[in-house]
Amino acid sequence: MIRTIGLHRLMIVVGILGLGAINLFLAWTLTGGRLFDTPEPGLRQLTHFTEISTDPVWSPDARAIVFQSNHEHPDGKLYELYSVAVNDGQIRRLTNEQQSPHDPAWSPDQKYLAFVVHENICVQRMDGDPATACTPAPNAERLAWSPDGRILAFDTSGRTGGKIHALVMEGGHPSGPPQPIGPGAYATWSPDGQCLAYANGVGLSGSEVWVSRKDGTQPLLLLQAKQDIYPFGWSPDGQFLLVKRDDSSGTGQLLAVRLADGAEFQLTNNHESHTSPRLSPDGTRIAFHSLRESDSPPGDHFNIYVMDMPALPAAETKALSGECLPSAAVGRVTPPAPQGIPRYHGMVLPPAVDSTHLMIGLVIVVALVVMGSLFLFTALLKAGLGQRPFRREAHAIVLVFYLPAILVSGYLAIQSGIFLSPAQRLGWQTYQSEDGFFAAAFPGMPDVKTQGTGDNVSYRDKGFTYTVLVTSLPNGSASDFNADQKLDELQQALIPPGGEVIDAADITLDKYPGRELHIRTTAALLSPFIEARLYVIGNRILQVIVHDSNSIPLSPNSAVFLDSFQLLESK
């Protein structure tokens, strides 16, 4: 007689296998599918310090890399600039400022090294007398020398409200005070020196990469991301832009973006962040600093690395002379050029989970439930269909099968975003007014116009215009009119010639009177459909309006916008 495995033993074996599969799935999902990291081609570690080494910059001849480090200061509070030879790893100290020089930039002729020291931009000769000459530049960061050596660009005011400036250089020294170029940060020059790529909105609920002329004119939006994204250099042929983008877990990965069509090519695949990537002058290697595992002593410390730049497929369409983007990208419909950074109310965006993760998770849940049910039925049969207690078996089945199924189901529900608001599931951003009076969700960064009597916050997207109009009446005038009468006047003003009100209903917002309207018009050059909510709040009139320029009824997203409007402070 063949001896069979007992129910308890079989449950233990199946449970262990099931829990292992669950752990593997969760680890794979939480690491963004990078559970098994692959080595980057030609990866080499150039520094081996137990402290911090960051911001690598290639020398124009590609033989050395300048970086900043605090490894020679025991307290770790002061930094100096160093160079490391790429071939043999020899390290040489370049500064002795005792004031933490940072953000180095090497002049294209290799004669000068610029860096920031205590709110000054300083320039040091590299081929003779190492004396430095400094120019006041409060809050200067991230220096970038133009390819012809005539302009030194930098940005100020930190991450979230950066402004790009330029210093005209003659003989390695400024010939005048800094001149403003426009909003942005992390400026990097095109190979011909005629264009700049820069970031906007870094540190907020979403960021962008723009490309413009070197004087800030003719800006074009290239990239948008829910996480921070930074440009760090163009390929020598001008076809690719090297960027660092944070993923949903906050890990920075390096990508090459093809300017002709926006195609992205991921260059790193490691669970640690890679920061400040810089292309070598010939475009064959990338230098960066990283907190990844290294052959240095254990501990949290950044070191400098280099890796090969893989061969990438070039686009057939290239930029014409005088263009900052290839002709295929020029003329794209883009949002207005950034005019400073609006204030945003914090919003949790749904984690990025693709269909593969969800399907694997669902398969695991179904398998656990099916196996648990089979074992429960088997235990019930062995107990004589309930003639004797089978509490122990039932408890074991719940712990091994049903409880993990519930946990995985909850995780999948959170990842799929069913607990988020409709605006959050769409990835919209919540704009908060400067005075903290109201907030509303928009598909992207709205255009904000401040007028004498109020604000006009508006965003256009795929034929729809989402607008919040705020009008402040003179003090004391709030009691001069009846709220219903004012709502009637606003309703009549919204109806265009040839239009009619399809629906109208009185509503309230935090006990303040309002009205909801749905208007249709057949007049030419006007939106066929208009939906609005009007409110009278003290001495302020608020109009939340969606205009639809399409020939079909309003999108369900219009309700998302209208429902997202909220008062933050009752006045």
SS (H, E, C) 53-88: EEEEEECCCCCEEEEEECCCCCCCCCCEEEEEECCC
pLDDT confidence tier of residue 432, bands split at 50, 70 and 90? confident
- Whether 381 is covered by a domain: the verdict is yes
Length reported for the chain: 571
| pLDDT > 60? residue 252 | yes
3-state secondary structure (DSSP) of residue 11: helix
pLDDT digits (tens, 9 = 90+) for 44-59: 888 888 888 889 999 9
- Whether 37 is covered by a domain: the verdict is no
Of residues 35 and 199, more confidently modeled:
199
Q: Strands 179-183 and 195-200: what pairing?
A: unpaired
Claim to verify: residue 208 and residue 98 sit in the same structural domain: yes
- Whether 175 is covered by a domain: the verdict is yes
Angle at CA 97, nearest 5°, toward 91 and 98? 100
**Is the distance from CB of 286 to CB of 253 less than 8 angstroms?**
no
Claim to verify: residue 404 and residue 432 sit in the same structural domain: no
pLDDT, position 161: 54
Claim to verify: residue 382 and residue 472 sit in the same structural domain: no
Claim to verify: residue 268 and residue 122 sit in the same structural domain: yes
pLDDT, position 347: 32
Cα–Cα distance measured from residue 302 to residue 51, given in angstroms and rounded to the nearest whole number? 7
**Is the distance from CB of 443 to CB of 426 less than 8 angstroms?**
yes
- Whether 169 is covered by a domain: the verdict is yes
Cα–Cα distance measured from residue 436 to residue 442, given in angstroms and rounded to the nearest whole number? 17
Q: What is the CATH number of the domain that holds 492?
A: 3.40.1000.10
308, 332, 363 — which closes off a domain?
Answer: 308
- Whether 329 is covered by a domain: the verdict is no
What's the burial of 224, exposed, middle or buried (CB within 10 Å: 0-12/13-18/19+)?
Answer: middle
Domain range for 18 is 7-28+352-416
416, 442, 464 — which closes off a domain?
Answer: 416
| pLDDT > 70? residue 23 | no
Claim to verify: residue 528 and residue 468 sit in the same structural domain: yes
Which are the contacts of 449, defined by CB distance < 8 A and separation ≥ 6?
455, 456, 457, 458
Claim to verify: residue 17 and residue 78 sit in the same structural domain: no
Cα–Cα distance measured from residue 457 to residue 445, given in angstroms and rounded to the nearest whole number? 10
| pLDDT > 50? residue 190 | yes
pLDDT confidence tier of residue 385, bands split at 50, 70 and 90? low
**Is the distance from CB of 545 to CB of 552 less than 8 angstroms?**
no
Claim to verify: residue 219 and residue 303 sit in the same structural domain: yes
- Backbone φ, ψ for residue 228 (5° rounding): -65, 140
- Whether 38 is covered by a domain: the verdict is no
pLDDT digits (tens, 9 = 90+) for 351-373: 344 556 667 777 888 888 888 78
- Whether 34 is covered by a domain: the verdict is no
Q: Strands 64-69 and 80-85: what pairing?
A: antiparallel
Which are the contacts of 481, defined by CB distance < 8 A and separation ≥ 6?
none
If one counts the domains in the chain, the total is 3
| pLDDT > 90? residue 70 | no
Claim to verify: residue 368 and residue 253 sit in the same structural domain: no
Structure tokens at 348: 């949790």
Claim to verify: residue 251 and residue 114 sit in the same structural domain: yes
Cα–Cα distance measured from residue 248 to residue 260, given in angstroms and rounded to the nearest whole number? 26
Claim to verify: residue 477 and residue 364 sit in the same structural domain: no
Claim to verify: residue 369 and residue 485 sit in the same structural domain: no
pTM above 0.75, yes or no: no
Claim to verify: residue 254 and residue 218 sit in the same structural domain: yes
β-pair partners for 448: 457
362, 381, 416 — which closes off a domain?
Answer: 416
- Whether 36 is covered by a domain: the verdict is no
